[in-house]
Structure 1
């Protein structure tokens, strides 16, 4: 028995949307304009109506016979045609169902594969990003350590330079004193004694007075002892010495063949010629080029030096500057009114109408701060990061 469900390929559990979809599909295929027949269209329409009203389990052929009331021979022939068409439609329906199931399975497999690939890609990307962040942090720490070592070496160089300058100053002052003494000696008249020799003679005179005083005191003590009980023993000793006294050779006088002034000049300390120390030239600080364009990073070089740098200008006329080796620097426009500056802004020098501050740490001191944000707020001034990565890459190539 052929039911209306068999004609549409449905059952009692088929949703209304699927019933409508199958009806439209069969109507488009069995339409008289597309090699179909009016009887077949009527059968499909009646089957759709019965199924929608919950009567899809009824026998379709019997209903058609009652409605049409055609002769038996014609009815049999029409029945055979409908059976043949039904078989073809059922085959098409089964084929379409199989294709639909295959497509759904392939879609589920593709969706699962895409989801797994996307999850794996996200994990790989997150791992790559974490590795890049870790590498950037390691590089920043190495840069900070190198900067500290550079500052320490620079301090040692400065201290050594100061010691050399102090030594040169002392040498220069000693040379000036010696030259002044030699000039006094040259200007003194012939036969005059220099002040140095006079000081030596006066010292010798004082030493002679002390020796004479000691000898006089010793003689007085001897006389006192001789007048006392020890005088007899002293006289006996003197008599024994004079009795055994022998004739001794007279003392020979020493004759000097050199003038005392010449001896003093020979024994005078030798004075080294003063060394002329060239003044240490102070290196001129680099000066940035002023720009009219604000809000974009650009590569440039200093006015008085070929060293490259990158900079960005704020709307208030201040600059953020980065060189090959130094820290990020904040060129504060002196016309900008500001309150208390941040702790990481270290004053360095003055440059025309700018106050130059180094940024050794904190906000704006690392490359990551600029790459991971759209703009940074420094001293109540916004500095965008537009074109920062391209400018920083150009700077790295110029610095190699």
Structure 2
């Protein structure tokens, strides 16, 4: 990834893309890597680059919304007379096929995120963020992760470790490419709780034990012996507000209605990881993970089920799905708008996340 042909100009464009003002960008570029700047860059990234899977879906056309045959003019015909000047014709919404599939090639990803102002999922966002950090002088390792679901761990995620910033030598875990990501760098050690500086959620790591350990609910993870051997840690989360209803991923999992908050705070197991990982960008494990999230099988792959776009806000997030756009703030749904057709969907994408298909 350090061998990319992108220049210092791309770094500046990247910082502008994530909303870093020129004066602050000058300071970040001009000084040594530090934990404070890392946190600033992480939060800026989360608030600017959406988590989305739009490249792996067909975007359908939209029906013309007016009577298309007036005075002998047919808006759907290939050859026709010039329409009357009084006839208002909307710009047609044409079908967009699957294109620009996510890749492990960081140059392609930089074009998509920085230049085209798109988002992506972990393979794109975290690879791009790692490139940015390395260009700014940070020491970054790539790590594999398996997301925990009720049916067990699944392939398809990676996280980052930033070394050499702390006096104690502990790496900092960062992950802007997760749709419900921790919004602060986390020391990669056990027993240290980090409070989210934006929404107040708390995260910590626990050791990954076998099924006999009931204290951290690992008996519910349905892990294989491979998972227990491969991953030594589990990322845990306690939500400040809203329970799972405050999660940006509940809609992705099929919970279209925002759930009420639980009576008591509940710890959620997020994903398995290994603090010692230092993987190559094109390693077999990453190739398998990318293939899993690009699989067209909607029975096994959440990303294939439906189009989604999540953009984080200071106190919550916005979610744009096929049929609705919703806002969640401080753990509660505060707005929902039905998207009646493809035109309304695309307009919502542009309004909410700056994405023009």
Q: Greater strand percent: which structure?
A: 2
TM over 0.5: no
Q: TM-score range with shorter-chain normalisation? A: under 0.3
- TM-score, length basis structure 1: 0.18
* Bigger Rg, structure 1 or 2: 1
